[in-house]
Amino acid sequence: MKTTTIRKAETTGDAVLALCENGNGNGSRPKRIRNRAAKKQALIEAGLGLFASKGYEVTTTREIAAVAGCAEGLIHRYFNGKPGLLAAIIESRVAKQVLDSGHPSRSAHDLEDEFLHLVDQEIERVWQSRNFLRVVIPRAIVDPSLGGVMNRALVLRSKATSEHLHHSKTCVGLPPGTIDVLAQAVGMLGFVFGFVRPVLLGHDRSRAKKMAATIAKTLVANSVVSVVV
């Protein structure tokens, strides 16, 4: 029997055990899944865990299938191979995030309170997705088709934030164009201060969040002034 290699990897805030070859951590093979939707979801979760722990290039479809408890051929049948699986991972995560963004949020006192809360939420969301972003960003640079998937994901996120602001009482009186700009700003601040600053540049997270809040307050103040003028 081959020795099972276990690597711990952080994904969305939780540790993921990425298992190589035929192991599931207790010396036995993973239980086979029969439902098609469950198989697809298992492959998506296994792919994300292994991509984050080992890297996209070195992870094999055989390893992904072993962790998921599925036949290797299903990766090609369902996703047209490893690149399609990565695209499915992105779309699955975005769909869930858009769904979550539609849930009612706490009542805001004013526009500044609303905007700062959205920015803070986005920073936390991006931070929790940091290992996922470590995988997809390098791949998107070399794979134009994956870049298109990420672009659609960004559009969906921005649209969800814009719709939230359009329906918020704190944005009454703001021109639609201003609301859309604020929605775009939420995404940019979230990415810069939730991923670029703390992950790529190694900046302190708390200081990064304070800087994001300062910029957010300035943007809101300018938006209000432009409406008054």
Confidence tier at 150 by pLDDT (50, 70, 90)? confident
pTM, full prediction: 0.73
For residue 140, the model assigns a pLDDT of: 85
> Region 209-215: what's the mean pLDDT?
97
Q: Is the pLDDT of residue 113 over 50?
A: yes
More confident residue, 54 or 105: 54
Angle at 163 between CA 120 and CA 210, to 5 degrees: 15
Among 102-106, 155-159, 169-173, 215-219, the minimum mean pLDDT is found in: 102-106
Backbone angles phi, psi at 20, to 5 degrees: -95, 155
Answer with the residue of higher pLDDT: 98 or 144: 144
CATH architecture of 6-79: Orthogonal Bundle (1.10)
Task: Specify whether the CB–CB gap between 102 and 162 falls below 8 A.
Answer: no
Q: Is the pLDDT of residue 101 over 50?
A: yes
Residue tagged 């399609």 (tokens): 84
Q: Model confidence over 181-209: pLDDT tens digits?
A: 999 999 999 999 999 999 999 999 999 99
Confidence of residue 9 (pLDDT cuts 50, 70, 90): very low
pLDDT, residue 107, reads 72
Q: Are 118 and 82 in contact (CB under 8 A)?
A: no
Average pLDDT over residues 91-111: 69
* Average predicted confidence (pLDDT) for the chain: 81
Residue range(s) in the chain whose domain bears CATH number 1.10.10.60? 6-79
Question: Is residue 225 pLDDT above 80, yes or no?
Answer: no
What is the rounded CA–CA span in Å between residue 66 and residue 23? Answer: 7
Mean pLDDT of 66-79: 96
Are residues 126 and 191 in contact, defined by beta-carbon separation less than 8 angstroms?
yes
**Nearest 5°: CA angle at 201, between 123 and 136?**
65
